[in-house]
Amino acid sequence: MGVAFSLAVVGVLILAITLAVEVLGLRFLVGAVLPYVAVAVFLGGMVYRLLGWGRSPVPFRIPTTGGQQRSLPWIKPSSLDNPSSTAGVIGRMALEILLFRSLFRNTKAELHGGPHLAYHWEKWLWLGALVFHWSMLLVVIRHLRFFTDPVPSFVYWVEGIDGFLRVGLRALYLTDITLLLGVTYLLLRRFFIPQVRYISLPGDYVPLFLLLGIGLSGVLMRYFVGVDVAAVKELALGVLTFRPRIPEGIGVLFYIHWGLVCALLAYFPFSKLVHMGGIFLTPTRNLPNDSRARRHVNPWNYPVKVHTYEEYEEEFREKMKLAGIPVEKE
Amino acid sequence: MKIPDMRYIITGIVVFLVVMTFPFWYNIGKAASAPQVSLDTPRIREMAEPQCVEPASYMRANHMRLLEEWRDRVVRGGERTYVAGDGKEYLMSLQNTCLDCHSNYDEFCALCHDYAGVAPDCWTCHLEFPRESK
C-alpha cells in the first residue's frame, strides 16, 4: 500500500513535469518559477521547524546514554558517550553527524528456539546510511559547477577525486554509483526485513523514490543521453542571479531531474528529511549529562507564593496560645 | 519565557541560511549567460556553408560521446572513416578533423569547458594549445 502510493506520487510528478514541458510548453514554469517556490518553501520551512524546536521546552537533561557518567574520580567516565562538558558534547555531536555513531550501535534482536533472545551484529544500516549520506554530500558539492561562475577550486578537487575512474574518455563518478547503491539498499531493507516493512509508511518511501528518481535521471543524463551542459548552466545561473531565462535545446530529462529536485526541496521541511536540522537539536545528544554536578532549574518555573511557618505563627499566635498549641516565639 | 540556548539555535539557523544560499550570493552581479563560442577560423571561413560532422545541437550535447566512439573505432577497430547522419564521410580524427576547423582553442573548446567546470584531458596528448586561463 505505502509502496504503491509512494511510487504513484513520484510517477505522477514525473508525468506532470513531462506533460508541462512537452505538451503544454510550460518550460518557464518548471525551469524558472518552480525553483524559487521550492527554495523559499525549503528555507522558510526549515527555519520555521528549527525555531519551533528551539522554542520547545527542554527542562532537564535526558541522560539516555551508552556509557559511564562522570562521577567519582576513580571511576573512568565515558566522555564521548556520556559527556559532562561542552567539549564532550561537541565531540559526541560530531561523531553522530559525521559518522552516525547511534546507528553503529544498532543490533538485531532475534528469538532462537524458544525463549532465547540473541542480539546479532548488524552494521548494514549504518554502512548503507553512511554511504548514502556522504555520496549525497559529494554529489551536491560536485553540482556546484552548475551553480557557480567561476567554479571554485574545491569543486574541481572533489570532481578530480570522485572521478578518478574512467569509462571511455569521461570520468565515472564513484559517488554516482555509491549514491544509487545506498538509496537502493535503504529501499530494499524496507521491502525485505519484515519488521521494517511493517512500520514503513508512505513518508518513508516517498523520499527514497524521489531520491532514486533524481539519481537515475542524473545518471541517465550524464552517461547515456546527452544534454547541452552549457545551456543547463545558463538556466541555473539565470535563476540564481534572478534573471531567469530558458535556453533552447534542453531535453525533457533535464526538466524531470530539475523538477524532482524542486519537489524534494519543497517536501523537505514537512518530511522525515528534516532530520538534517533536527539532528542538531536532539536533546538526548546535545546536552551534557551533568545533572548531578549542576542544578538545573526549570526555566519556566513561575514564582510560587508560599506561606512559611513563621508567617503562619505570626498570624495565628494568639489563637494558638489560647488553644494550647506550642509556639516557637513567645 | 527565556530560553538560554536560543542564541546557539539562531546562530545555527544563520549559518544554515548562509551556506544554503551560497549559489545565490556567490553569483551576485555575474552575467550568467552561456559563452558564445567563436566559429571564426581560417578553415571554417573557407566553407561555403559551415557545417559540423553532425548537427550543432547534437554536437553540443554529445561531442564527447562521438569522440569516445571515434576513439574506440579507430584505436580498437582500425576503422578510419565515419559516415555522418547526412551520408557524408569524414576522417575519424580529433586532430585532423575536429581541430582542423576548430583551431581556436581559447575561443571554442575552453570557453564552454571552463564555464561548465569540466577539465577534459584531450589536450594532455593532442595539439598543445597555449593556455592562459588555467
Mean pLDDT by 10 residues, chain B (134 residues): 72 94 89 83 85 89 90 91 88 87 86 87 72 42
Q: Is B61 exposed, middle or buried (CB count within 10 Å of its CB: 0-12, 13-18, 19+)?
A: buried
Q: How far apart are CA A277 and CA A285, in angstroms?
A: 13
Does B4 sit within 8 Å of A146, measured CB to CB?
no
Phi and psi at residue A172, in whole multiples of 5°?
A: -105, 110
Overall number of domains in chain A: 1
Biggest distance spanned by C-alpha atoms of chain A: 107
Query: Cα(A223)–Cα(A216) distance, rounded to whole angstroms?
Result: 10
**Average of per-residue pLDDT across A292-305:** 81
Residue B49 belongs to domain spanning: 41-118
pLDDT at residue B132, rounded to an integer: 44
Name the domain count of chain B: 1
Cross-chain Cβ contact B3/A169 below 8 Å: no
Taking all residues of chain A, what is their mean pLDDT, rounded to a whole number?
91
User: Per-residue pLDDT averaged across A105-131, rounded?
Assistant: 88
Of A213, A281, A312, A251, whose CA–CA distance to A51 is shortest? A281
| Residue A313 located in a structural domain | no
The answer to whether A286 and A96 have CB atoms below 8 angstroms apart is: no
Domain assignment present for B24: no
Structure-block grid coordinates of residue A272: 522525515
Q: Chain B contacts of A299, Cβ < 8 Å?
A: 1-4
pLDDT (mean) for A313-325? 92
Contacts of A141 (CB under 8 A, 6+ apart): A154, A155, A158
Answer whether A230 sits within 8 Å of B12, measured CB to CB: no
pLDDT digits (tens, 9 = 90+) for A43-100: 999 999 999 998 887 777 877 777 888 888 999 998 888 898 889 999 999 999 999 9
- Rounded to an integer, the average pLDDT of A195-206 is 93
- A29 and chain B: CB distance < 8 Å anywhere? no
β-pair partners for B82? B90
Report the pLDDT value the prediction gives residue A63, as an integer from 0 to 100.
Answer: 72
Contact A145, A222 (CB under 8 A): no
B63 domain-assigned = yes
Residue B107 lies in a domain: yes
Whether the per-residue pLDDT at A12 is higher than 90: the answer is yes
Residue A70 belongs to domain with CATH number:
1.20.950.20
The rounded percent of chain A whose pLDDT value lies above 90 is: 61
A166 CB near a chain B CB, below 8 Å?
no
C-alpha torsion A32→A36→A39→A41, nearest 10: -130
Any domain includes B130: no
- Least CA distance to A300: which residue of chain B? B1
Residues A288-305 have a mean pLDDT of 82
* A121-134 mean pLDDT: 94
Specify the pLDDT at position A80. Answer: 87
User: Residues 185..244 of A with a Cβ closer than 8 Å to B: which?
Assistant: 226-231, 233-234, 237-238, 240-241, 243
Q: Answer yes or no: is pLDDT of A113 > 50.
A: yes
Q: Please, what is the angle between helix A124-147 and helix A229-240, to 10°?
A: 90
Query: Would residue A259 count as lying in a domain?
Result: yes
Does any domain span residue B47?
Answer: yes
Enclosing domain of residue A210: 2-300
